Amino acid sequence: MTRFQNGSRLLSYTFFRSKKTPSTSPNAALLQGNFQIQQHRHFSNLARVTTKEEKEPRWKDSMDRLRNIGISAHIDSGKTTLTERILYYTGRIHEIHEVRGRDGVGAKMDSMDLEREKGITIQSAATYCTWNGYQVNIIDTPGHVDFTIEVERALRVLDGAILVLCSVGGVQSQSITVDRQMRRYEARSKLRHHSAAVQVPIGLEDDLQGLIDLVKMKACYFHGSNGEKVVTAEIPAEMEALAAEKRRELVETVSEVDDKLADAFLTDEPISSSDLEEAIRRATVAKKFVPVFMGSAFKNKGVQPLLDGVLSYLPCPTEVGNYALDQTKDEEKVVLSGTPDGPLVALAFKLEEGRFGQLTYLRIYEGVIRKGDFIINVNTGKKIKIPRLVRMHSDEMEDIQEAHAGQIVAVFGVDCASGDTFTDGSVKYTMTSMNVPEPVMSLAIQPISKDSGGQFSKALNRFQKEDPTFRVGLDPESGQTIISGMGELHLDIYVERIRREYKVDASVGKPRVNFRETITQRAEFDYLHKKQTGGQGQYGRVCGYIEPLPQGSTTKFEFDNMIVGQVIPSNFIPSIEKGFKEAANSGSLIGHPVENLRIALTDGAAHAVDSSELAFKLASIYAFRQCYTAAKPVILEPVMLVELKVPTEFQGTVAGDINKRKGVIVGNDQDGDDSIITVHVPLNNMFGYSTSLRSMTQGKGEFTMEYKEHSPVSQDVQMQLVNTYMASKGAE
């Protein structure tokens, strides 16, 4: 596998579709697509070597035979279809249903009605299966960019992952997004892994008959109505030369990253199948190599060898290094043993509201958890008893009595937030927090019937706990409920879920973009708030300056008390900070939050009788408003990274339309008869774009969109936004 900065491991699987594409040679077919299994760790990644003791610990064999994997891909690349086959061949289900099958049942892992209807995976369903004596925990993740938090949360807790790449669509934009998540923030324009195929297809497209295993140098065929009988045979005579050439390529590629295999390769020693298999495992676990598997899940070919690859090449939990932060030692990093013998350390990585209350998914990093145990939520300090412990299979559950390090389970009756860490109380460790992106789109929503208010609130509270990127707030001026999320589809799904699951019809306003404001220069403030109305008055004076934070700053708001002495009593300082924070929630340009702001308090004055927390809070609010204009504020808008795939004949029309939308073209590649255009476009100019693109390309164009950054708007756009805001204020 390839080594990445964040320590991901990846395995690939080429995914053939029966859709007709221009004929290609078997050599070219190897490059058409792949399924990649990626060891995902943004923790320190120290591959642990277990020394052989005379007597191995009781848990050793159980841990060695455990794999935690995810399945991620571009939307419609076939990951749910693949998971369905894996569950079938491992005996977890007894019949296969397609994602958009005619029987109306839908795939097992798409348990939500909406998922079965739309044919996309919205939530990460968790399941487990056994294969050749190994237990495999699988997370089936969404492919649509609006649901990337689900992918982030799933990959956060896995030891390896399969990245599915469609051999027809190739490396698509969402594949790159998912791969970037697997490698945690290491941005690359395309997947550039140190990889090689471990199989060669026998036949192409509709004529795909089987596979050649380049490690064992045997041919595999898949017989039976659902490809359940794997038959091993000798390699067809006409393909022996190609197989030998491809095996030599595989050995050469692996030897570049594995010294032991390199010695044998350079001295022309014969390399046995076991030698090659061990070398591939060493390189994969070390994140230096990506094995590429092939097949067609839809045609029931190649799935069983992929499962064998998961066992052979992906790490068990003890081969992955994880660390926690010791809260008693100023968040000092502590490497976890990853064994059941240590103290309990578990992470809540996903929440769901089920029929029996809140269901919390836990990844156990160390120790053992048992039904009836008391555990401590380190983030809140609460002590909780576990009334029920279950293992999940999509939306069905199986009760268990205990679970140990490396396993993924779910518990009932545990009140917590996503990202909380649990221990047995003997240690005070927390796991690193997950990356949660800021929402980029909002819309007003309210129940049509006033009697539905209770259910409406219940739905919003549940969705917020389940999904950190789904936010709910109140518009202070209109009093409307505002929901925010990662895109139109994200919010549409929640509005539909409110209707279906809580029987509440809601009216929604026009989607609106989450603008921000910021300042561009330093400005001084000196404000005295003085009020006398009989009895105790109000008195508070604050002096200082506001300035923009340095570029790349990790915080969005900073308050610095630079007062020397007691001109303002120290008990009023928190109220001053609170006042500035409150004022920054609504900038004077268009009423949106102000970011990248530093407040420096340098002087002030207090009155022995009339000064109070309220007086200083109000003084701070008015001081901010007084100096804000002098700091030359600007409006920031969310800019999206958009990738378009359109037939070349429509490239000019599409590019012209992007220019009209004030987009900047940053990349243009060719993929057969299609042009792949990468652009940065303001989100505010992308409403209704899918309809426009369809009409411009006769329905042949497609695009994906993800948040890139907030950037200043042009002067004319700023004037337009300010005028609109002022007009709406005047109308009130």
The pair of three-digit structure tokens given for residue 254, joined into one six-digit string = 């692996």
Strand order in the sheet with 210-213: 199-202, 210-213, 218-223, 229-233
Do the beta carbons of residue 87 and residue 96 sit within 8 Å? no
The pair of three-digit structure tokens given for residue 473, joined into one six-digit string = 């707030």
Q: How far is 243 from 226, CA to CA, in rounded Å?
A: 27
Tell me if 79 is assigned to a ligand binding site. Answer: yes
Tell me if 78 is assigned to a ligand binding site. Answer: yes
Phi, psi (5° rounding) for residue 200?
Answer: -125, 135
Q: How many CB atoms sit inside 10 A of residue 715's CB?
A: 9
Bridge partners (DSSP) listed for residue 223: 229
Q: Which of 579, 576, 575, 580 is nearest to 547 (CA)?
A: 580
Tell me if 8 is assigned to a ligand binding site. Answer: no
Q: How far is 210 from 518, CA to CA, in rounded Å?
A: 60
Residue with tokens 């595989």: 250
The pair of three-digit structure tokens given for residue 530, joined into one six-digit string = 């003085």
Tell me if 297 is assigned to a ligand binding site. Answer: no
The pair of three-digit structure tokens given for residue 51, joined into one six-digit string = 């020394």
Bridge partners (DSSP) listed for residue 712: 636
| Contacting residues for 190 by C-beta, under 8 A, at least 6 apart | 171, 176
Sign of CA dihedral 366, 372, 377, 381: negative
| Contacting residues for 367 by C-beta, under 8 A, at least 6 apart | 340, 341, 342, 343, 344, 345, 346, 404, 405, 424
Tell me if 130 is assigned to a ligand binding site. Answer: no
Q: Angle at Cα 567 formed by Cα 566 and Cα 573, nearest 5°?
A: 75
Tell me if 143 is assigned to a ligand binding site. Answer: yes
Could you tell me how many helices (H) and strands (E) the chain has, helices first? Answer: 17, 39
Q: How many CB atoms sit inside 10 A of residue 578's CB?
A: 16
Query: What Cα–Cα distance (Å) separates residue 390 from each residue in 110, 398, 400, 410, 469?
Result: 20, 5, 5, 5, 26
Tell me if 607 is assigned to a ligand binding site. Answer: no
The pair of three-digit structure tokens given for residue 29, joined into one six-digit string = 């077919």
Tell me if 93 is assigned to a ligand binding site. Answer: no
Phi, psi (5° rounding) for residue 558?
Answer: -135, 130
Tell me if 315 is assigned to a ligand binding site. Answer: no
Residue with tokens 């609006």: 146
Tell me if 193 is assigned to a ligand binding site. Answer: no
Amino acid at 655: A
Tell me if 473 is assigned to a ligand binding site. Answer: no
- Residue list for the binding site for GTP: 73-80, 140-144
Residue ranges for the known binding site are 73-80, 140-144
